[in-house]
Structure 1
Amino acid sequence: MNDTRIAKGLENIRDEHLIYFCMPGHKSRLQSDLLKYDITEIEGSDNLACSEGIIKNTENKLSDIYKSKKSYISVNGSSLGVLASISSTFETGDEVVIFRNSHISVYNAIYINNLKVHYIYQDEDPEKKLRKILSNNKVKGIVLTTPNYYGEILSKQFIDYLKTTDLIVISDEAHGSHLYLIDDKLSASNYSDVVIHSFHKTLPSMTQTACVHVFTDRIPSDKIKKYINIFQTTSPSYVLMRSIDIMIDICTSDGKKMMDELLANIEFFSEELEKKTDFRVLNNKYSTTDKTRIIVAHNKSIDYSHLERKLRENGIQIEFSSDRGLVLISSIMNTREDFLHLIYVLRKVDLKFKDDQIQHKVFKPEIKYSINKTYLKEKEKLSLENSIGRVVCEYIVEYPPGVPIIVPGEIMSKEIVEYIIRKKMNILLLKDNTINVY
C-alpha cells in the first residue's frame, strides 16, 4: 500500500518540473517556492472531496494522532467543520443547547437549519442551567465551546454530568488542537461525538487549516463528509494542506518536548514578569485552563488597548486586549527570547492609567422571534439609539473575541446601546452605528 502523504506527494510532483496546461494560472512560475506546491487534482495528487491517495493518508495520520474514527481536513477553517457537523446532526425544528459565547459559525448553522436554540450564558453555572433546560425541553444535542478565547476549559464536574445525558455532543475545540501535547485529559475528544479543530490557531500550520474528527457512530461519518463537501471549496489549496503535513511531522517528532519547553518558558515568564514589573499572569495556575493562553494584567487599572498599540510599535503583536488584560496566544514555535523581549518592552513602554475601566458585561436580551425568522429580513435601518425596543435583524458581535452581544430576533435595550457607545468597542458588521430592525 502506498502510504505517501501530502507533503511528499507534492515534492514528487514538483520534482517532475511539469509544463502546466491546467489550473492554476500561475503555472508554478511566480517567484515563490510555496507556489511550486500549488497544484490541482492531477496524477500524483488527490481529491479532497473523495480522498483516496495522499490526502487520505494524511487524514488517516490525523486520525491516529487524535484517536478518532475518522478525521476530515478542512481548508475553510473550523467554521466549515461547525457548519457541517451541526447540519449533519440536526433536522429543521430540532432543539439544541449552545453556549452564548459560541463562534458566529454556530449561529449561522442554527439559521441555516432553522433550529430552536437554548443558551447557557457566560455568567451562569453550566451544569445547573443545562439541568434546567433538559427538564423542560426535548433537546437533541449540545454544541460546546472549549477552550474559549481566554483559554478556559469546561470543568470536570460539568463534563461528568454531560456524560449522564443522552445528548449528541459537538465540541468546537478550535482553540484546543494542541491540548493533547499538554495532557490528553484536557481534550473534548474524551466525551464528544464530534470535535472541530483549527490547527492554525495554536499549532504550526497555515491559516484556514482545520479538521473535523468523528469519535462515535451516533452521527454517521459519511453523512458528515457529505455536508463537508457541500460547504467546502471544490478547489482546495495544496499549499494549505501541505502545511498540515509539516505540522504533523513537527508534532509527532518533537511536539511533546517542544510543549514542555513552552510550558517551562511560560512559567519563567510569569515569575520574571512579577519580579521585574507591575504586571502578572492571571491564568496559568489553574488545571481547567489552557496554560499556553496567557492573560497579562497590571496591578493598577490601565488602558490595555493603549498598551496593545504600544507593544505593536515595539514589534510585538498580541491576540487582543480587553478589560481583563492582554490576551496572548503562545505556541510550541515561541522561544524564550520571545518572552524575554516581551518583558523588556513591558518594562519600558509608557502606560496610560484609566480609572473608568468599563468591564465586560453579559447581556440576556429578551427573545421575541427565532434567528431564522428575523435574520436577513430587515424592515428598516435605524441608529442604535432609535433601535431601543425594536427587534434586531442582525448580529452585534464584539471582536475580539467574536461573541455576540445581541442576535437576530432579540429586542434591543437601552443598556446594550449605552454599553456599546461607552466602551467604543470594535463591532463586526455594525457600520455608522446603525442597525437593521424588524
Structure 2
Amino acid sequence: MDQRSAPIYEALERLRAERIVHFDVPGHKGGRGNKELTEFLGEKCLKADVNSMKPLDNLNHPVSVIKDAQLLAAEAFGAHSCFFIVNGTTAAVQAMVMSACKAGEKILMPRNVHISAINALILSGAVPVYIDPGIDKRLGIALGMSVDDVKRGIEENPDAKAILVNNPTYYGICSNLKEIVQLAHNHNMLVLVDEAHGTHFYFGENMPVSAMRAGADMASVSMHKTGGSLTQSSLLLCGENVNSNYVRQIIGLTQTTSASYLLLTSLDLARKNLSLNGKEIINRTVELAEYARKEINSLGGYYAFSRELVNNDNIYDFDVTKLSVNTRDTGLTGIEVYDILRDEYGIQVEFGDLCNILAIVSAGDRAMEIERLISALYEIKRLYSREPAGMLDYNYINPHVVYTPQKAFYSSKKMMPLKCSKGEVSGEFVMAYPPGIPILAPGERITEEIIDYIFYAKDKGSLLMGTQDMKLENILVVEG
C-alpha cells in the first residue's frame, strides 16, 4: 500500500470541492449556525466536521475510505488489522479486555493499570489476577512485569484467558514483552498490551520493542499522545490470531455511532506523517529529551532517570523519550513542582505525583522551551527546596482484593467518612489524575496505609477523583 495516501483526508477534500447542500447533522451547518465557534476553530475545521455518508464511509461498518485508512495503519504498525478509535484509548483498552475475556474468566494483569482496564472488568465481569509489579523505593514508582512473576501467575492460574501488560508505563518502564508473549502463547493465553505511551516504538530507532513486533495479540495505542493526532483519537491493533470481526462487534458496544471526522482525519494524517517522517521525528525527540535529562541531572536535587535503571527483569528496557524527573531530594513532591511550574513559570508538564514529574517531549518542542524548563527547575530548587523529612517514598500500594471489581461496584453500599473506613471494602475508585492509576479500586480492602496516602496526596495538591463525594471526605463501602 502507498503510505503517502490519506484516504479519509482525501475523501473530505473531494467532498468539500463538491459544495454539497447539507440537510443532515451536525446542526452548525459547516459553522454558519455558530459564529463564535467558527471564529474560534476556523471555517475549514467546522466544514470538516461532518456526518457519516456514503462518500465518507462509516466507522462502525467500514467498506471504503475508512477501511483503506485502517489497512494503511495496520501495515504501518506491522499489525494484521487495525481499528480507529474515537472514544480515546480507554475504549481501546476496554475492547481488548472484553474481546479476550467473558464474565467469570481470569485475566492476569499488574495492579498499576490505568482505570480503563479495571472499568473493563466491571463491564465484562472478568476476574483480575494481579501480579505485583514491585516498587523502586528511590523513585517511588511501580515497575514492569517480571518474567518470573508472570510465569508463576500462569502456573497458578492455567485457566486464565489473557495477560494484560503496561508497556511502557507512564514513567517509561518496559517489561520483557517478547518473553512474556512466548510464555503466554505456550499456555494458550492472549497477550494484550496497553501501549498508550508507545506509539513512537513503531517508528523510532533503538526504541524498546513494540507490541506487534513482540508478537502480542492486541495493543491499544494512543496516537494523540506521541503520534501527532488529535486528543481522544487512538488505534487498536490486532495480530493474526485474533478474530477481528468479533473485536469490531465488541468495539461497537461502547464506541459512538457518530464518529468525529476531525478525529478520524487526524489519525489518517498522523499515520501518514509517521510513516514518511517517523524516524526523523523520533530522533529529534530523543535528542531533546536526552539533552534535558543531562542538564536537569547537573542541577542537583533532581533525578531525571533513564536506561541506567535497566535490570533485565522488571525494568527490561526504558523509553528514553520520557522525561521523568524524581523530585524527592529537593524536599518537594512532584505535584508541588508541577503546580509551581504552571502557576509561577507558565510551564505545563504532563503530571506531578508524590515523587516525580513527567514532561512530555516531542519534535514539536523548541530548544528554547527546553532551556526554559531547565531554568525554572533550577529556580524552584533554589527558592523552595527543603529537607525531605516526612515525605512518602512510594506511589503504589499493593492491594488486598476481597471481591471482584464488578461484584463490589454493583453491590449494596453505604457512605461513611474516609478517616473511619479502615478495614472496610471499597465500593468505588480513588485515583490521582493524571496518571489515572487507582489508589483504591472497588473490591479492595481499605487499610490505614491507604487512608494516610490519600490524605497526604490531598494535602500536597493531587487531584483525586473517582468517588461520589467530590470532596473525598466520605467513601462508599460494601455492606455486609
Work out whether 1:118 is the aligned partner of 2:141.
no
| Secondary structure in 2 matching 1:139 | coil
Name 1:357's counterpart in structure 2.
391
Maintained 8 Å contact 2:168/2:175: yes
**Residues 269-284 of structure 1 aligned to structure 2 (within 5 Å):** 269-275=292-298, 279-283=302-306
Note the alpha carbon deviations across 1:173-232, whole angstroms, 9 max, x for none.
Answer: 111111122246521211311111111111211011001111122x31100011112211
Q: CA deviation at 1:318?
A: 0.3
Q: CA deviation at 1:253?
A: 2.2
**Residues 40-119 of structure 1 aligned to structure 2 (within 5 Å):** 40-119=51-130
Whole-Å separation in 1 of the counterparts to 2:337 and 2:397: 27
State the one-letter code of the partner of 1:437.
V
Name 1:240's counterpart in structure 2.
263
Whole-Å separation in 2 of the counterparts to 1:249 and 1:132: 42
| Secondary structure in 2 matching 1:377 | coil
The 1:405/1:269 distance shift into structure 2, 3 A limit, reads closer
The 1:386/1:55 distance shift into structure 2, 3 A limit, reads same
Whole-Å separation in 1 of the counterparts to 2:412 and 2:361: 41
Q: CA deviation at 1:367?
A: 2.6
Maintained 8 Å contact 2:333/2:355: no
Whole-Å separation in 2 of the counterparts to 1:326 and 1:84: 30
Whole-Å separation in 2 of the counterparts to 1:328 and 1:341: 13
1:266 alignment partner, one of 267, 272, 289: 289
Name 2:358's counterpart in structure 1.
327
Note the alpha carbon deviations across 1:324-378, whole angstroms, 9 max, x for none.
Answer: 3221122232232321221232233432425222222533343322222220323
Name 1:289's counterpart in structure 2.
318
Maintained 8 Å contact 1:307/1:351: no
Name 2:272's counterpart in structure 1.
249
Work out whether 1:179 is the aligned partner of 2:204.
no
| Secondary structure in 1 matching 2:60 | helix
Name 1:8's counterpart in structure 2.
10
Name 1:167's counterpart in structure 2.
189
**Residues 306-321 of structure 1 aligned to structure 2 (within 5 Å):** 306-312=336-342, 313-321=344-352
Maintained 8 Å contact 2:429/2:441: yes
Whole-Å separation in 2 of the counterparts to 1:407 and 1:303: 24
Q: CA deviation at 1:172?
A: 1.0
| Secondary structure in 2 matching 1:437 | strand
Q: CA deviation at 1:289?
A: 0.9
Name 2:463's counterpart in structure 1.
426
Name 2:377's counterpart in structure 1.
346
Maintained 8 Å contact 1:306/1:352: no
Whole-Å separation in 2 of the counterparts to 1:357 and 1:295: 19
Maintained 8 Å contact 1:147/1:173: yes
State the one-letter code of the partner of 1:292.
T
**Residues 128-139 of structure 1 aligned to structure 2 (within 5 Å):** 128-137=148-157, 138-139=159-160
Note the alpha carbon deviations across 1:249-272, whole angstroms, 9 max, x for none.
Answer: 321222211211221222222333
Whole-Å separation in 1 of the counterparts to 2:98 and 2:410: 20
Whole-Å separation in 1 of the counterparts to 2:165 and 2:95: 15
The 1:216/1:311 distance shift into structure 2, 3 A limit, reads same
The 1:279/1:102 distance shift into structure 2, 3 A limit, reads closer
| Secondary structure in 1 matching 2:384 | coil
| Secondary structure in 1 matching 2:267 | helix
RMSD of aligned Cα (Å): 2.3
| Secondary structure in 1 matching 2:56 | coil
The 1:249/1:368 distance shift into structure 2, 3 A limit, reads closer
The range that moved more, 260-269 or 237-246, is 260-269
The 1:262/1:369 distance shift into structure 2, 3 A limit, reads closer
Whole-Å separation in 1 of the counterparts to 2:443 and 2:295: 49
The range that moved more, 131-140 or 233-242, is 131-140
| Secondary structure in 1 matching 2:84 | strand
Maintained 8 Å contact 1:147/1:153: yes
Q: CA deviation at 1:236?
A: 0.4
| Secondary structure in 1 matching 2:165 | strand
The 1:340/1:277 distance shift into structure 2, 3 A limit, reads farther
Ranges in structure 2 where 5+ consecutive residues have no aligned partner: 33-37, 136-144, 311-315
State the one-letter code of the partner of 1:269.
A
Ranges in structure 1 where 5+ consecutive residues have no aligned partner: none
Q: CA deviation at 1:279?
A: 3.8
Name 1:228's counterpart in structure 2.
251
2:419 alignment partner, one of 385, 403, 422: 385
Whole-Å separation in 2 of the counterparts to 1:417 and 1:213: 39
Whole-Å separation in 1 of the counterparts to 2:297 and 2:259: 46
TM-score with structure 1 setting the length: 0.93
Maintained 8 Å contact 2:131/2:153: no
| Secondary structure in 2 matching 1:48 | coil
1:206 alignment partner, one of 216, 221, 230: 230
State the one-letter code of the partner of 2:466.
L
Query: What's the % identity of the aligned pairs?
Result: 27
2:335 alignment partner, one of 305, 326, 336: 305
The range that moved more, 140-149 or 292-301, is 292-301
